[in-house]
Structure 1
Amino acid sequence: MGSDLAALPRLQRDLTEPEPIPPAGIARACELMRSGRLFRYGEMGADQNDVALLEQEFAAFVGRRYCVAVNSGGAALCLALKVLDVQPGEPVLVNGFTLAPVPGAILHAGARPVLVEIGPDYVIDCEDLRAKTRASGARILLLSHMRGHIADMDAVTAACDELDLLLVEDCAHALCAAWGGRAIGTFGAAAAFSAQTYKHLNAGEGGFLVLDDDDRTARAILHSGSYMLHAQHRSAPPAEIITAWEELTPNFSMRMTALAAALLRPQLDDLPRRAARWNAIHDRLSHGLARSQHVRLPMRPTRQQYSATSVQFSLVGLGELDILAVLDRCAGRGLPIKWFGAGRQQGFTSAPRNWRYAGDQGALARTHAILAGLCDIRTPLSLTDEDCDLVADIVCEATETVACACAVAGETGRAATG
């Protein structure tokens, strides 16, 4: 199977191609490089306020009181746990559909992950959340809005209230998303965002911690590595609160650089337009993929306002070898697809069974059954409507071709044994 692919159209787009940095960001970055002043703090009163301005702007954009900019989304998650007083070995709950930096951040903070099952629409199972909370004694839920799939936040917050859980939101893929009109990133005690390439904002690497509490923010600023230059923060609690924590809070050196902030500030202004285009790409692709009887798309409740930079779907009615055949056929036409059911982790994609460092999590049978068929396609903004239609056509043709071949092979086998 595959010798016939040469006659079929190929996808000519590079799905790893990000948009260029806006000219204003490039100009400011060049200005900073000519000055050599790339550190976010200036001892001599120099005009080094790029990060401070970005923090102020990002907090306002999300709708939180404070923002602390750091060097990665994973660092922001770790920092969130530290300011919530996570203790060594303490259990922290996290949904099973996420990426390795999330359990990694829990371990970085000195805690241990306790993975919670997901449901067929890729979001956390609140009944298993209740069971795992009671079994583990956990007091923190790190909820990963993985790939922008938003759980029923009414049900999640009700469960957190019932179980007395502190909520931390991993919003790496959920900037501009909302539930019932309320911005994702504003439901928990803290939330973390990412500026790694392929996210909504691109600095190559970078992260944001957003919160509302004065003392936690003061500690986050000091933990991030402000030395005694925290007066240069614009998104910050009163100076006396930070001063009270100065000698009690270790420096973890997690700062964002001025260069990263210079690249990011112009992107923030343009984000609503880009998010709308990303969703248009997602919706056109999803509509096309739904034509295949072997593709299942997650149900999205009307209260969920997503902000998708990729599209996910499940291959149903196909075995592992069949799925591999589908992926190979798609790759043969220029369409790379990530698969969460692979036996070995590849690229950025891994699953709970690969995280042996996270300790024994039990079977997680439902989660692994769902991940076994879960596929993921990156959707750069360069995709045209014609590209979206071609991507959907490639997936549908591959699934139907493989499924037909399997059916024929099954009939042949039954006839031979009959």
Structure 2
Amino acid sequence: MRSGRLFRYGEMGADQNDVAVLEQEFAALVARRYCVAVNSGGAALCLALKVLDVQPGDPVLVNGFTLAPVPGAILHAGARPVLVEIGADYVIDCDDLRRRARASGARILLLSHMRGHIADMDAVMGTCDELGLVLVEDCAHALCAKWGGRAIGTFGEAAAFSAQTYKHLNAGEGGFLALDNADRAARAILHSGSYMLHGQHLSAPGPDVIAGWEERTPNFSMRMTALAAALLRPQLRDLPRRVARWNAIHDRIASAIARSQHVRLPPRSPRQRYSATSVQFSLLGFTDGEIAAMLDRCAARGLPIKWFGAGRQRGFTSAPRHWRYAGDQGAMQQTHAILAGLCDIRTPLSLTDEDCDLVAEILREAIETIVSTRAEAGETGRARTG
């Protein structure tokens, strides 16, 4: 900040090398050969598709429970999203994946590990092998997660991570593309906007590989700033403690709200080791009006809850029916039926155990109030008709 050298490259040399060192450290953390730091998780997804040679109009498969920047990244890369249904566990439905892959002719699956819910990666990889699909992983909510002991972010040809405020690492904004292929890494470095200063990268293929792509690869100006990297590097060392505390917060709130007969938590496979920064649950048997009233009661007590089934997109929350820019995806009935009651509680690390108990108490009381109001209205109606 004192020097004003916030750009990651220096014409007189990389004396400010926080970004280069961060890339090297992050690649080691996620067990990939190369890492390119960029300005957002969405930019990392876009770059992943570009280096996998997605062409204008190409179909790219993506699960229907995700956030708007994911289909947005597909469009940013010039491709078109093909949305795939989800199941009751909030993750991709592999049967529908097969149907839509065959119908669309898509060759790439962009799998979003939305809110840290991990699909059966054995089934996903088996389906990819069966259909010849190339996998890209959106790990924005899944840093440090695992399936069967293997790190999420190492299953696909490329993996994208986020450093936006509400993620495991927080620089306000930022992202990482992690991959193993030297040619793709070279192209990602050039696409990100290295000018001719790519020699200042530490997590990079040799200069001969990059030189082979220099004059064929456009600069998209997606670089991470030195300031963002300086904020992120100390957080890497604290990540194991933070993940453990986040999971403890998640488990305490989840177990408490599960006591309500009106709440369903998604099942998780024992092969999954999650890394949660929020809690998701489904409300059972509630109308849209009742859900809205319940959320209002929680908000009045200082507990904001997101609802993926809302009629209009709000804040960070949306559903496939809101993404008209993605083109006609059909009814997506299964996905929208699941999202209809799906709610989301953000869990900042600042929450104490007492805070967690209060969160659950507020939610349970709001649910019971709505249920009681419904019952009273039913009794009144029966009395009048009687």
TM over 0.5: yes
Deviation at 1:121, TM superposition (A): 1.1
2:345 alignment partner, SS class: strand
**Please, which moves more after superposition, 366-375 or 400-409?**
400-409
| 1:106 corresponds to which of 71, 74, 77 | 74
- Report the Cα distance in structure 2 between the residues aligned to 1:35 and 1:141, rounded to whole angstroms: 43
Q: What residue is the counterpart of 2:31 in the other structure?
A: 63
| 1:130 corresponds to which of 94, 98, 117 | 98
1:89 equivalenced with 2:57 (yes/no): yes
Matched-pair contact (CA < 8 Å) for 2:20–2:200 = yes
| 1:182 corresponds to which of 132, 140, 150 | 150
Deviation at 1:400, TM superposition (A): 1.5
Deviation at 1:150, TM superposition (A): 0.5
Cα deviation, 1:41-68, whole Å, max 9, x if unaligned, reads: 1111241211110000000000000000
Q: Give 1:215-364 correspondences, 5 Å limit.
A: 215-364=183-332
- Report the Cα distance in structure 2 between the residues aligned to 1:415 and 1:368, rounded to whole angstroms: 36
Deviation at 1:282, TM superposition (A): 0.1
Cα deviation, 1:280-320, whole Å, max 9, x if unaligned, reads: 00000001000111010011110110000010000111111
Cα deviation, 1:314-371, whole Å, max 9, x if unaligned, reads: 0111111111111111112111101111111111111111111000110000110111
> Identity of aligned pairs, percent?
83
| 1:158 corresponds to which of 126, 131, 137 | 126
- Report the Cα distance in structure 2 between the residues aligned to 1:55 and 1:285, rounded to whole angstroms: 34
Cα deviation, 1:215-249, whole Å, max 9, x if unaligned, reads: 11110011111111111111011111110011111
- Report the Cα distance in structure 1 between the residues aligned to 2:291 and 2:148, rounded to whole angstroms: 36
Deviation at 1:165, TM superposition (A): 0.4
- Report the Cα distance in structure 2 between the residues aligned to 1:263 and 1:370, rounded to whole angstroms: 38
When residues 328 and 64 of structure 1 are mapped into structure 2, their CA distance, relative to the original with a 3 A threshold, is: same
1:327 alignment partner, SS class: helix
- Report the Cα distance in structure 1 between the residues aligned to 2:33 and 2:385, rounded to whole angstroms: 70
Q: Report the AA paired with residue 67 of structure 1.
A: C
Q: Report the AA paired with residue 90 of structure 1.
A: D
- Report the Cα distance in structure 1 between the residues aligned to 2:350 and 2:189, rounded to whole angstroms: 37
2:176 alignment partner, SS class: strand
2:280 alignment partner, SS class: strand
Q: What residue is the counterpart of 1:9 in the other structure?
A: none
- Report the Cα distance in structure 2 between the residues aligned to 1:76 and 1:345, rounded to whole angstroms: 24
How many residue pairs match? The answer is: 386
Q: Give 1:18-97 correspondences, 5 Å limit.
A: 33-97=1-65
- Report the Cα distance in structure 1 between the residues aligned to 2:385 and 2:45, rounded to whole angstroms: 57
- Report the Cα distance in structure 2 between the residues aligned to 1:415 and 1:108, rounded to whole angstroms: 59
Q: What residue is the counterpart of 1:192 in the other structure?
A: 160
**Unaligned regions of 5+ residues in structure 2, if any?**
none
Provide runs of 4+ in structure 1 moved above 4 Å: none
Q: Report the AA paired with residue 409 of structure 1.
A: A
- Report the Cα distance in structure 1 between the residues aligned to 2:378 and 2:94, rounded to whole angstroms: 40
- Report the Cα distance in structure 1 between the residues aligned to 2:167 and 2:355, rounded to whole angstroms: 20
Q: What residue is the counterpart of 2:173 in the other structure?
A: 205
Matched-pair contact (CA < 8 Å) for 2:14–2:200 = no
Q: Report the AA paired with residue 381 of structure 2.
A: G
- Report the Cα distance in structure 1 between the residues aligned to 2:288 and 2:252, rounded to whole angstroms: 28
1:214 equivalenced with 2:182 (yes/no): yes
When residues 90 and 46 of structure 1 are mapped into structure 2, their CA distance, relative to the original with a 3 A threshold, is: closer
Superposition TM-score, scaled by structure 2 size? 0.99
| 2:368 corresponds to which of 400, 403, 416 | 400
- Report the Cα distance in structure 1 between the residues aligned to 2:245 and 2:292, rounded to whole angstroms: 31
| 2:355 corresponds to which of 373, 387, 390 | 387
When residues 36 and 283 of structure 1 are mapped into structure 2, their CA distance, relative to the original with a 3 A threshold, is: same
